[in-house]
Amino acid sequence: MDSNKIKKGLGRGLSSLIGETKIESQNNQLSISEMIPNKYQPRKIFDEISLNELTKSIEQRGILQPIIVRKSNHDKSKFEIIAGERRWLAAQRAGLHNVPVVITEADDLKSLEFAIVENVQRHDLNPLEEAQGYKRLIDEFSYDQEKVSKFIGKSRSHITNSLRLLILPKEVIKLIETQKLTAGHAKILVGLENAAFVANKIVEKKLSVRQAENFVKIFKNKKQKSNNKDANIKDLEISVSNKIGLNVEIKNKKNNKGKITFEYKDLDQLNKIIEIIKTNY
């Protein structure tokens, strides 16, 4: 193991990781075209506003923090970015031809570790990308949750809750990826049978995490009451709903008095209900 270590500018976690690898060149320049993205980069979405801000900063002051690279296993003429892909993208926008790099030796595991640590420490990952990074450590490199916890420097419960996000429906995951839902919202939805419906309501009504928690409680209470409904009434609701193509709710009291509710979402559906009533009565 080489005694050269980067002690400043990369963050404590990255510095520690780099210290475990052999450094070939600490103050080197590479052409932007010689570099390729890290195949283990957990970050899939780069915020456009943040990227533009970094581009302007680089235009004015250049790249202050070197990009960490390793020689590509697939193309010997290229170097794979281990940490600093966002800086590389911004440098291209800023019109730079060469950028400062640290060339180090790193296997696939170390490359993934670098990428996760950099992004997690900078809070650059959305909660889903963070969870996917942890899952890769577990699935591809035989980590367990305890080992991930110690390596990342976060609690075991944080890792567990993070991984649980991956069991959410695809529609909900999409909302997290596009940052329409926060990690706080997502945690509320884990384990709900109707997670996609609730998620869309949260987005539609622009609910805060606290408001979303209250909404879920109300929804659960309503559902619990609904589950106690007479089976014949439930069958009748489904039958009428299928017949007219709208949601129908029947509330029937013990004395067989009650009310029937038709849910419509636009004027066309309202007109449809009125037309059905006019035609038959």
For residues 148-161, average pLDDT: 85
Q: Which of 85, 118, 129, 237 is catalytic?
A: 85
Residue 249 lies in a domain: yes
Can you count the helices (H) and strands (E) in the chain?
13, 7
Q: How many CB atoms lie within 10 A of CB 271?
A: 11
Taking 50 as the threshold, does the pLDDT of residue 144 lie above it? Answer: yes
Q: E-assigned strands of 37-179?
A: 67-71, 79-83, 98-104
Quickly state the pLDDT bin for 139 (edges 50, 70, 90): confident
The pLDDT of residue 51 is 84
Taking 90 as the threshold, does the pLDDT of residue 93 lie above it? Answer: yes
Q: Which domain holds residue 235?
A: 229-280
For residues 73-88, average pLDDT: 86
Residue 177 among the catalytic residues: no
Domain boundary, last residue among 123, 150, 182? 123
Are 253 and 199 part of one and the same domain? no
Rounded to two decimals, what is the model's pTM? 0.56
State how far the alpha carbon of 56 is from the alpha carbons of 75, 162, 233, in Å: 31, 34, 64
Are 185 and 173 part of one and the same domain? yes
Are 45 and 19 part of one and the same domain? yes
Are 107 and 183 part of one and the same domain? no
Are 117 and 87 part of one and the same domain? yes
Question: How many structural domains are present in the chain?
Answer: 4
Are 17 and 117 part of one and the same domain? yes
